[in-house]
A = this chain, B = another copy of it.
Amino acid sequence: MTEPVKQRRPYRSAVRDERARETRRRILDAAAARFLELGYARAPIRRIAEDAAVSEDLVFHLFKSKRGLLKEVMDVGIGGDDADVALLERPEPLLVRDEVDQRRQIEVFAAGVGAQLERVRPLDDMLRSAAVVDDELAGLRADLQLRQRREAMTTITRWIAARGPLRQEVDEAAALVWTLTSPEVHHMLTDGWGWAPEQYVAWLRTNLEAALLG
């Protein structure tokens, strides 16, 4: 199928796309800040729209609902930016895939997870609280953690298994990778036990090496 209208004005369309993207980004930043400050349930869309200097109508037009807005806030938080690139096709995971030394794969992976958790944990804490009283948000968190993150951690485990033997079956090893890199365990060790971020990363690396490689 041809798209004559889009093809005719490529420059203007690019400018418009960039502006639209910038507006979305401003709304997502404002939403993330207010959700973290006030909690999801108490953050009014009106305030978020004001912060982003747009109308409430535009927020609903772009994101359909407050839940839709939260979902995109989480996606951006997890990816680190609003680029439309699947999580495992970003540069850091690809380093893990392409590295040939298993110990070095785990080292790079552990450092990347530490940085990502520092960024995502506050958002996940907020989502987890909101999910207690909102079944749809519980479903969103389950999808992020039980489907997306589980699949990603299984793929990472296969990448490590592709470079040499593992001490465990891939599923069992992936369960360890998945649990030790969960927001829950990060929360326990940093907020709960008082560990510094680099202590968590060192511990993650030590234990993945020991349990996966021996």
Contacts and interface: CB of A to CB of B under 8 A. Distances in A.
Interface in A137-178: 142, 145-146, 150, 167-168, 172, 175-176, 178
Interface in A199-214: 203, 206-207, 210-211, 214
A97 to B, nearest CB: 24
A132 interface: yes
Contact of A207 (B133, B150, B206, B211): B211
Copies of chain A in the complex: 2
A24 to B, nearest CB: 30
B214 A211 contact: no
A11 interface: no
A124 to B, nearest CB: 13
Interface string A166-197: 01100010011011101011001100110100
B203 A172 contact: yes
A178 B172 contact: no
Contacts of A193: 146, 150, 175, 178
Contact of A211 (B132, B189, B211): B211
Given A132-B132, A193-B146, A172 B210 contact: no
15 contacts: A129-B132, A142-B192, A145-B192, A146-B193, A168-B206, A172-B203, A176-B203, A178-B188, A178-B193, A179-B185, A182-B184, A182-B185, A182-B188, A184-B188, A206-B211
